Amino acid sequence: MEHAQHGEAFDRIIDRRDTDSIKWSHYDRDVLPMWVADMDFTSPEPVLAALRERIDHGVFGYPVPASALRRAVVERLHRLYQWDVTEESVVFSPNVVVGFNLAARAFTSPGDGLLIQTPIYFPILRVPGNANLQAQHLELTRCQDGYYEIDFDRLERTMTRKTSLFILCNPHNPVGRAFTRQELERMAEACVRHNTIICADEIHADFVYDGKAHLPIASIGPEIEQRTITLIAPTKTYNLAGLSCAIAVIPNRELREGFVEAKRGLVSSPGALAYTAALAAFQHGSDWLAGLLSYLQTNRDVLTTYVAEHLPELHISPIEATYLAWLDCRRAGIPGNPQEFFLRNGRVAFNDGAAFGPGGDGFVRLNFGCPRSVLLDGLDRMRRALDSRSSGAG
């Protein structure tokens, strides 16, 4: 019953135009935006109530994260993953992108190698240039059914003695993989052999489907934990991106001190409202999150069925995790860039797959974190755009 009530809430259409939303202000008003990984749902009511109470207090001085928030993070890691860390291991930053750039700044030297699995979340592609590093791209292997795997022989050939840092994206954005324990163990073993630090972007950890559970790579064992910076955030999970709060979990004291030192004078801490929202989300957001996950899994299934039945020229990669779909448009006979084609002919906006690096050409990324009616509208727009080819339009 509770999930049904949540479902009705997630079905509600919220007008986000004229709210300073990147997602909804970037394109013309007749374009349906399904690009930025930003859900079109209201945040949990306990979070909104906590924010109202904090605002009513009326004073917003320099904040520090309450010890209750650190405890909430530690308790959450134990409850979800049986991963036990100390409160001292928890470091706050504005967002995950800041986190992996700080890791590169703190633990590499100019000219070192940075291992990246492509196609990948495009801010990760910018890290080598930001830190004057050598990008070591390991393209994920796309199987015939669209499932992505890791070629471990190629992994060994790609890593060198200069590979100082590996930025792991798990669950993987954009291909939707939730890597298995065996895969994570083999990646971790390679990092141990090459003395490589792991920076794990695990911001989509709460979006794993079909009753499966996320596995933080750092929780595999003490040796891996000691060489890993794990980046998580309440912002993706509870749709709080505009409140800028992320968490780096760094059990190794030396790594933690290096990370904090890299922040000094450059990176501010989250604001008072961000801390308030994070604490309320972690303490009181579990029922809302369960309803959200159920709703998103149904959206995923609706999307997958629609593509199979009405857009057979496209191919969707199996979605194990995230609320992002990775669509292969290469066999659809689309003239030119598929992102531009759907924008022009369907008035629906996706991310251009080419922005995700090697292996992304000919793909688009679709965000299905929206009311189901909006998702179906976007899919219908895609269908009409593809139909327009035979009519000679566009």
Domain check: are 205 and 253 in the same one?
A: yes
Domain count for the chain: 2
Angle at CA of residue 288, ends 239 and 69, nearest 5° = 65
Which of 230, 253, 283 marks a domain boundary?
Answer: 283
At residue 317, the pLDDT reads: 96
pLDDT band at residue 394 under the 50/70/90 scheme: very low
Encode pLDDT of 59-84 as tens digits.
999 998 889 999 999 999 999 999 99
CB distance 104 to 133 below 8 Å? yes
The answer to whether position 203 is within a domain reads yes
Encode pLDDT of 165-217 as tens digits.
999 999 999 999 999 999 999 999 999 999 999 999 999 999 999 999 999 99
Which of 223, 249, 283 marks a domain boundary?
Answer: 283
The answer to whether position 359 is within a domain reads yes
The answer to whether position 393 is within a domain reads no
Per-residue pLDDT, averaged over 25-47, amounts to 97
CB distance 176 to 142 below 8 Å? no
The answer to whether position 132 is within a domain reads yes
Three-state DSSP class for residue 328? strand
At residue 1, the pLDDT reads: 47
Rg (CA), the chain: 21
At residue 3, the pLDDT reads: 52
Is the per-residue pLDDT at 114 higher than 50? yes
pLDDT band at residue 44 under the 50/70/90 scheme: very high
The answer to whether position 51 is within a domain reads no
The answer to whether position 196 is within a domain reads yes
Per-residue pLDDT, averaged over 42-59, amounts to 98
Domain check: are 65 and 34 in the same one?
A: no
pLDDT above 70: percentage of residues in the chain: 97
Domain check: are 377 and 237 in the same one?
A: no
At residue 65, the pLDDT reads: 86
Distance (Å, whole) CA 387 – CA 212: 38
Domain check: are 216 and 278 in the same one?
A: yes
Per-residue pLDDT, averaged over 37-46, amounts to 97
Domain check: are 219 and 233 in the same one?
A: yes
Report the CATH number at residue 21. Answer: 3.90.1150.10
Ramachandran sector of residue 61 (left: φ over 0; alpha: ψ -120 to 50; beta: rest): beta
Domain check: are 217 and 350 in the same one?
A: no
Report the CATH number at residue 191. Answer: 3.40.640.10
Domain check: are 110 and 201 in the same one?
A: yes
Domain check: are 166 and 236 in the same one?
A: yes
The answer to whether position 52 is within a domain reads no
At residue 62, the pLDDT reads: 92
Count the helix, strand and coil residues of the chain and give each as a percent rounded to the nearest 5: 45, 15, 40
Mean pLDDT, the chain, rounded, equals: 96
At residue 391, the pLDDT reads: 60
At residue 6, the pLDDT reads: 60
Which of 242, 257, 283 marks a domain boundary?
Answer: 283
The answer to whether position 249 is within a domain reads yes
Per-residue pLDDT, averaged over 297-307, amounts to 98
At residue 354, the pLDDT reads: 98
- Quote the domain boundaries for residue 377: 2-45+286-388
Domain check: are 85 and 220 in the same one?
A: yes
